């Protein structure tokens, strides 16, 4: 009984220490300096690698039919290689992100408007320090034609980013990706 108890405690200790070590993300001093420069200049680019749409019945049907990329599920889709991005520079933002979900109202279906696309000057732009850990939360609103978007981006010094897009005409969608400095051409 003692041996069982001893091995149980050791197992729990190893389990909790392994879980604790995977939750920390750290950045080198060089990454921190580059990150602070990006935030100060408000000049960065997020290249999306994962899309996380709201899992609806229709999206589940598409996933069950095997129409999503390999390794993807209805609520986490690998979009590596699609070229999806969000760029910010000189008080402007531009995005071209693939969309997976449902159109809720209005709008048109055309071959050039299938994804989330906007280009212009955002309104209500704010940069706030993250509530947990390091990083910043960037919030803004922008419109493209009849559709308006509320965007919340969490950017981190380890060059990762998480983006939430709420549309006036579509279901919400989240993106994860890599963060880098953006230099306009």
Whole-number pLDDT of residue 25: 53
Q: What is the pLDDT of residue 23?
A: 38
Q: What CA dihedral angle connects 50, 80, 92 and 140, to 10 degrees?
A: 0
pLDDT for the residue 76: 95
What pLDDT shows up at residue 21? 39
CATH of 24-181, one of 2.40.50.140, 2.60.40.3880, 3.60.20.10, 2.40.128.410: 2.40.128.410
If the chain, 185 residues long, is cut into consecutive pieces of 10 residues, what is the mean pLDDT of each piece? Answer: 51 48 61 88 95 90 89 92 94 95 72 84 94 90 93 94 95 96 86
Give residue 132's pLDDT.
81
DSSP conformation letters of the chain = -HHHHHHHHHHHHHHHHHHHHHS-----HHHHHHHHHHHHHT-EEEEEEEEEE---HHHHHHHHTT-SPTT-BTTBEE-TTS--EEEEETTEEEEEE---S-B-SS----TTSSSEEEEE--EEEEEEE-SSSS-EEEEEEEEETTEEEEEEEEE-TTSEEEEEEEESSB--EEEEEEEEE----
- Residues constituting the chain: 185
Q: What is the pLDDT of residue 24?
A: 45
* pLDDT for the residue numbered 34: 86
> How high is the pLDDT of residue 157?
92
């Amino acid at each position: 009984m003692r041996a069982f108890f001893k091995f149980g405690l050791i197992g729990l200790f190893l389990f909790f220490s392994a879980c604790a070590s995977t939750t920390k993300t750290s950045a080198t001093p060089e990454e921190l300096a580059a990150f602070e420069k990006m935030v100060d200049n408000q000049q960065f680019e997020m290249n999306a690698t994962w899309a996380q749409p709201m899992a609806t019945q229709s999206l589940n049907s598409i996933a069950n039919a095997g129409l999503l990329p390999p390794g993807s599920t209805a609520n986490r889709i690998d979009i590596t290689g699609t070229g999806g991005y969000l760029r910010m520079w000189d008080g402007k933002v531009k995005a071209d992100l693939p969309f997976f979900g449902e159109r809720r109202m209005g709008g048109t279906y055309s071959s050039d408007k299938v994804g989330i696309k906007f280009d212009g000057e955002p309104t209500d732009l704010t940069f706030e320090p993250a509530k947990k850990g390091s990083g910043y939360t960037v919030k803004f609103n922008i419109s493209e034609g009849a559709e308006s978007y509320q965007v919340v981006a969490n950017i981190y010094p380890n060059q990762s980013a998480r983006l939430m897009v709420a549309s006036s005409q579509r279901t919400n969608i989240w993106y994860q990706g890599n963060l880098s400095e953006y230099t306009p051409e």
